Amino acid sequence: MKILRIKDVTETTGLCRSQIYSLMETGAFPQSIKLGARSVGWVDTEVENWIKSKVVARDLQHPSGQAATVG
């Protein structure tokens, strides 16, 4: 298990910091864990599972395995 800091989470997910905290508030993103007085982190497997759930949701919407094209 590895702990990711906010920079790692934003790079991994493509989300900005405010989006991450906004999603956390609604329960739609893994909760951070307190590491110290002024630092938090996220469990890497929880973030990875969140990403995988997004892929599964996409594949359920588009069973052919191809994302819908715009245009």
Q: What is the pLDDT of residues 8-37, one digit of tens each?
A: 999 999 999 999 999 999 999 999 999 999
Residue 70 has a pLDDT of 57
DSSP per residue, 1-47: --EEPHHHHHHHH---HHHHHHHHHHTSSPPPEEEETTEEEEEHHHH
Residue 67 has a pLDDT of 59
pTM of the model: 0.83
Residue 54: how many CB atoms within 10 A of its CB? 11
